[in-house]
Amino acid sequence: MATARRRGPIRAELEAARDRLLADVLPGPDDPPLRVLFSGINPGLVSAYTGHHFARPGNRFWPALHASGFTPRVFAPAEQDLLPALGLGITNVAPRATARADELTDDELRAGGERLRALAAKLAPAWLAVVGVVAYRTAFGEPTAVVGKQDRTLGATRLWVLPNPSGLNAHYTPASLAAQFAVLRRCACGDHSD
């Protein structure tokens, strides 16, 4: 009798991952300067379970990264460590893993904004791109911020807000999400025509 092969973690394993912290993907000494540091809102339970950013099936971060020209192909979440060689990194606004971002408190998001300020001061990425406009508004105290380039900077680091790539964000199709990522890529690579 053949045993059915499991496709992913079971609910109990995901719930147990709530206490895990997800390591940032940051450049090492041999990597090029950090062009863009992407900041998710917080780790989802699948990401906490696997140890990989944007790991939930249906999350459109990795396809958007490729379709916009940031990566030469669609990377799997387990290949996140290839990003620093491309001048890219990943962090999160808030470290706590949740099933949904709306489980975070405003205090957690504001504390995450302070953490991002400190990280930008330490790493000096050319761009900090927060993927989630609502989280950005709370974290940086800018209630009217919209998707795109922000006027505010963190020292030499410029700020950009991207749409949340979660499959739950029905406001953006994969193509329109990739188009938003592409505008940032053109600016980050020196083409400021946008």
Q: Catalytic residue, from 53, 59, 92, 164: name it.
A: 53
Question: Is 53 noted as a catalytic residue in this protein?
Answer: yes
What phi-psi label fits residue 173: left (phi over 0), alpha (psi between -120 and 50 degrees) or beta?
A: beta
DSSP code of 27? -
Q: Catalytic residue, from 42, 59, 92, 164: name it.
A: 42
Residue 8, both tokens: 């992913």
Query: How distant, in Å, are the alpha carbons of 132, 150, 188 from that of 31?
Result: 27, 27, 17
Strand extents, DSSP E, 8-114: 36-40, 88-92
Question: Is 164 noted as a catalytic residue in this protein?
Answer: no
Element (H, E) at 136: helix 133-139
The residues annotated as belonging to the active site are 42, 53
